[in-house]
Structure 1
Amino acid sequence: MISRRHSPLQHALRVLGPAIAAVPPVEALRAGLGALIGLGVAGLLVLSPGLDLRLGLYMIAPFGATSVLIFAVPNSPLAQPWSAVVGNTLAAVVGILVVRLVEDPALRIALAVGLSVVALSLARAVHPPAGAVAMTAAMNPDAIHELGFRFALAPVAVGSALLVVVGIAYAHLTGRRYPFRHYDDERAHRTADHPAVERLGLSEAELTDILRRYRQSLNLGVEDLARLIGAAEMQAASHQAGPLTAADIMSRDLVTVHPDTPLSEVADLFRLHAFTSLPVVDGSDRFLGVIFQLHLIRRAREDSLHLKMDFAAAMARLLDPEREAPVRAADIMAVGTPRVAPTTPVSALLPLLAENESDAVPVMTQDRTIVGIVTQTDLIAALARQHLRVSLASRVA
């Protein structure tokens, strides 16, 4: 396998580069047009010729950020109506209270934003533009003293609600879904049953726990997580079509030894690769036998009993490359172990690995050339994938 290493500069550029998947131009235009319409409608209804606009409080800048969320990422939990309306309004209230209590400008701004974050989190209404709402209030104390809590009502609550209403209508007209559906919403068939690919065997509480465990509850909803897991399962299952064979699941990058390989080298290979078995082949890669770690232990145990020494000493003697007649692979390899062809069905491998003293079965061609090996780990993974494929097929059916 070729390992591609990046230079420090390349790594830095990758880290600092975009983390968001490429957006189709049509989707970008759809989101931009929605923001234009949303802000246009909000501006027409919120702005009033009779109000003093010099401070920009009536068509406030945070509405632009709210529009980005509602029209560009409508599935985000941060963009949902509760987060947008309650989040912005609650932040405005916090900002107004801080303005009334704190005189120092720097401390006032920091407190307004920090306390808003706490309040939004407790109210489950986290909405990033809300921090800017609190900051806007804290930076304009004169206007806030004049308007009081009316600022939280209009323009903040009214403007946020208008953006949400336009967002709902625009999503419907452009074939999108906003607000996003909740996990227990009624489905397309007017029942509570989830689509086949979303029946994961996981409860809403378990999915919620996954989001919390990986700290993704602000980025993804439970419903979206179910849809993504289901889609990933289907994609994975599609990689394997038809009945599995030994060739589909076998390990191909083999580590082999020759008949005259000393056991000291065999033990080193076991330790280096963490294998439990090693095929023994001749110079043409024709299979001769297999060595299992159990063979080393069994031989050392026999030597310890025969020579009346402890097991550790017997093992050291067995692996000693300097002994007068070093023990080699051919001396302890098993030659009567099961072996299969590349076309052998996976179902036929189960009894071979479950009922014998081996945890690996060599895969070879008719001329005894070894082309792979199937371990118990390979088989377990294959059975899991096969079970998944059958389960998904029954769901779709």
Structure 2
Amino acid sequence: MFHTQLEWLNTLKPNFKVLPFKERLLCGVGALIGLAISSLISWYVLGDFNAWYIAPMGASSVLLFAVSAGPLSQPWNIIVGNTIAGFIGVTCAMFIANQTAAFSLAVALAIFLMMSTDSLHPPSGAVAITAVLGGESVHELGYHFIFYPVLLNSVLLLAVAIIFNRLLGKQYPQVAQVNTRSKDPTPMQKVTIQPQDIQEVLEHQTELLDISEYDLQKIILEAQEKANARAISQYLCQDIMSKDVISLSEQDDIHQALDKFKHVNLMSLPVVNTENKLVGTLALYEVVEWFKRAADPRASWEHLVKQIMNRKVVTVQPLQPIQDLVPYFVERSFNYIPVVEQHKLVGIISRADMIAAMQQQLNRTP
């Protein structure tokens, strides 16, 4: 009997990914910092004003710090959604004497207008209620309530969320990755899932999904890649990489680096330290940019490769399947990817290596 009850309770749980402990802790810390900083600044700006901070910001902090990738958590939603809800709430409070009718209508209209402007933000429903039930101090503000505390609180909390998420390496606000070279689908989409396929399916959905079309596309595409990988025998990175790697030293003079570029006729080279550990990459265009600013006194200190190289490098391990590299070569137009083992550069996989390997796999396919 008890086991049956547990099974029934499990049906009520959402199909939601539980993040690792560290990530959950960081979400909580982010909300703590965001609410504390925005609250203190609001209090400093508004002084003794009774409604210097409003409760819906607690709900907004859940979205901004715990599910920052969701469409309902984006800056447009919190700013526009809260503005609409504040305006509707104040208007209903002014013209409808019965409070129950006022806040019920305010929330209903706010939902309709937010969905119409693609600015749905769940905590905004509480903003509309606060405008009606906030008491005399809120009612005395009239439409000023929209600007303070609503917009003041929203902007401050949003600013902290942007800084905090960026410091953690998260992309916030979310930016859709589209094919910037043309209006056509990206190369991977042409042979798998295309944007219009997702749109056609979503058009038949009558429920709002808390996930963007791009994120849905990305998840489906990655899942399809994994399924495809099971269907064919895989090469590993160590099978196709070039071990005789041409590289630069981080201590090389920039003029020396330019000479090497001329000699090998490559557009980009990996950079290693004295222990042969990969520390960055240097592209020819970065050398060109250096020459452009060489006359600037502020750039006179730059004369070594390590001072102008890019330290953020995408790398792979020798035992990784080459299917992992496809998105970088196809979607992001990489020329090569370094292969590292214990941080040491052990090989390079070029676009030509990938094409040859893929051609071989195509020939094997019956």
2:109 alignment partner AA: L
Alignment of 1:15 with 2:6, yes or no, is no
Percent of aligned pairs with the same residue?
32
Q: Is the 8 A contact 2:131 2:139 kept in 1?
A: no
Find the aligned partners of 1:224 and 1:159 in 2 and give their Cα distance.
Answer: 29
Find the aligned partners of 1:202 and 1:237 in 2 and give their Cα distance.
Answer: 13
Q: Where do residues 306-345 of structure 1 align in structure 2 (5 Å cutoff)?
A: none
Alignment of 1:30 with 2:21, yes or no, is no
2:214 alignment partner AA: E
How big is the shift at 1:201? Answer: 5.0
Alignment of 1:133 with 2:127, yes or no, is yes
2:199 alignment partner AA: T
- Call closer, same or farther: CA 1:167–1:212 in 2, change over 3 Å: farther
Q: Is the 8 A contact 2:185 2:195 kept in 1?
A: no
Q: Is the 8 A contact 2:78 2:154 kept in 1?
A: yes
Q: Is the 8 A contact 1:211 1:217 kept in 2?
A: no
How big is the shift at 1:38? Answer: 1.3
How big is the shift at 1:111? Answer: 1.2
- Partner of 2:224 in structure 1? 233
SS of the aligned residue for 1:98 comes to: helix
Q: Is the 8 A contact 1:77 1:218 kept in 2?
A: no
1:237 alignment partner AA: N
Q: Is the 8 A contact 2:30 2:65 kept in 1?
A: yes
- Partner of 1:107 in structure 2? 101
- Partner of 2:158 in structure 1? 164
SS of the aligned residue for 2:124 comes to: helix
SS of the aligned residue for 2:175 comes to: coil
- Call closer, same or farther: CA 1:207–1:168 in 2, change over 3 Å: same
How big is the shift at 1:74? Answer: 0.8
SS of the aligned residue for 2:127 comes to: helix
Q: Is the 8 A contact 2:42 2:52 kept in 1?
A: yes
How big is the shift at 1:145? Answer: 2.8
Note the aligned Cα RMSD (angstroms).
3.1
Residue-by-residue CA offset, 1:162-211 (whole Å, 9 max, x unaligned):
2222222212110111111124375xxx9989876555655544423333
Which 10-residue stretch deviates more, 28-37 or 63-72? 28-37
Find the aligned partners of 1:208 and 1:40 in 2 and give their Cα distance.
Answer: 40
Q: Number of matched residues? A: 238
- Call closer, same or farther: CA 1:89–1:139 in 2, change over 3 Å: same
TM-score normalized with structure 2 length: 0.58
1:229 alignment partner AA: I
How big is the shift at 1:9? Answer: 2.6
How big is the shift at 1:393? Answer: 8.2
Find the aligned partners of 2:207 and 2:232 in 1 and give their Cα distance.
Answer: 33
- Partner of 1:214 in structure 2? 205
SS of the aligned residue for 1:43 comes to: helix
Find the aligned partners of 2:169 and 2:190 in 1 and give their Cα distance.
Answer: 24
Q: Is the 8 A contact 1:76 1:221 kept in 2?
A: yes
- Call closer, same or farther: CA 1:165–1:90 in 2, change over 3 Å: same
Residue-by-residue CA offset, 1:224-279 (whole Å, 9 max, x unaligned):
01110111101212333339xxxxxxxxxxxxxxxxxxxxxxxxxxxxxxxxxxxx
SS of the aligned residue for 1:16 comes to: coil
Residue-by-residue CA offset, 1:119-154 (whole Å, 9 max, x unaligned):
111111100000010011111252333101111111
Q: Where do residues 1-397 of structure 1 align in structure 2 (5 Å cutoff)?
A: 8-48=4-44, 51-54=47-50, 57-184=51-178, 201-215=192-206, 217-242=208-233
SS of the aligned residue for 2:44 comes to: coil
Find the aligned partners of 1:161 and 1:209 in 2 and give their Cα distance.
Answer: 36
Find the aligned partners of 1:182 and 1:222 in 2 and give their Cα distance.
Answer: 9
Residue-by-residue CA offset, 1:284-319 (whole Å, 9 max, x unaligned):
xxxxxxxxxxxxxxxxxxxxxxxxxxxxxxxxxxxx
2:33 alignment partner AA: I
- Call closer, same or farther: CA 1:393–1:231 in 2, change over 3 Å: farther
Q: Is the 8 A contact 1:99 1:144 kept in 2?
A: no
1:130 alignment partner AA: S
Q: Is the 8 A contact 1:95 1:135 kept in 2?
A: yes
Residue-by-residue CA offset, 1:86-106 (whole Å, 9 max, x unaligned):
101110110000000111121
Which 10-residue stretch deviates more, 39-48 or 60-69? 39-48
Unmatched runs of 5 consecutive residues or more in structure 2:
235-357
Find the aligned partners of 1:136 and 1:200 in 2 and give their Cα distance.
Answer: 51
Find the aligned partners of 1:194 and 1:45 in 2 and give their Cα distance.
Answer: 46
Find the aligned partners of 2:199 and 2:140 in 1 and give their Cα distance.
Answer: 44
- Call closer, same or farther: CA 1:198–1:68 in 2, change over 3 Å: farther
Structure number with greater Rg is 1
Unmatched runs of 5 consecutive residues or more in structure 1:
1-5, 244-388
Find the aligned partners of 2:76 and 2:230 in 1 and give their Cα distance.
Answer: 40
1:43 alignment partner AA: S
